[in-house]
């Protein structure tokens, strides 16, 4: 399975790390579906565990090589840090 991330013209995936607040304390059941279900991997969806398109914010605002720290609504970057 391949994620739908950002790629350079040479096909190398751009990795952009972020910290987002997760408050869930357990799993969510995703029942088998007739159609594909897209599970959020960026942590920015407002409809977790499903992707709602919010990953576009990461593509627009995160920076390769920096750690983006999002506010508690997972909609705004409040700080960038160098990755360690
Ligand atoms: S992967 Fe997180 S909103 Fe799409």
Does the Cβ of 44 fall within 6 Å of ligand 1? yes
> CA gyration radius for the chain?
14
* pLDDT tier, 4 (very low <50, low <70, confident <90, very high otherwise): low
Separation of CA 9 and ligand 1 centre (Å):
22
Q: How far apart are CA 33 and CA 75, in angstroms?
A: 29
Q: What is the pLDDT of residues 7-51, one digit of tens each?
A: 777 887 778 899 999 999 999 999 999 999 999 999 999 999 999
Q: How far apart are CA 12 and CA 47, in angstroms?
A: 29
DSSP state of 55: H
* pLDDT tier, 64 (very low <50, low <70, confident <90, very high otherwise): confident
Separation of CA 2 and ligand 1 centre (Å):
14
- pLDDT confidence of residue 6: 63
Sign of CA pseudo-dihedral 33, 36, 37, 41: positive
* pLDDT tier, 83 (very low <50, low <70, confident <90, very high otherwise): confident
Q: How far apart are CA 24 and CA 3, in angstroms?
A: 23
């Amino acid at each position: 399975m391949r994620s739908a991330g950002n790629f350079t013209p040479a096909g190398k995936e751009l990795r952009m790390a972020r910290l987002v607040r997760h408050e869930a304390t357990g799993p969510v059941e995703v029942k088998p579906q007739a159609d594909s279900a897209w599970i959020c991997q960026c942590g920015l969806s407002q409809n977790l565990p499903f992707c709602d398109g919010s990953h576009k914010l990461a593509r627009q605002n995160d920076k390769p090589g920096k750690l983006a720290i999002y506010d508690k609504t997972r909609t705004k970057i409040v700080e960038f840090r160098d990755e360690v």
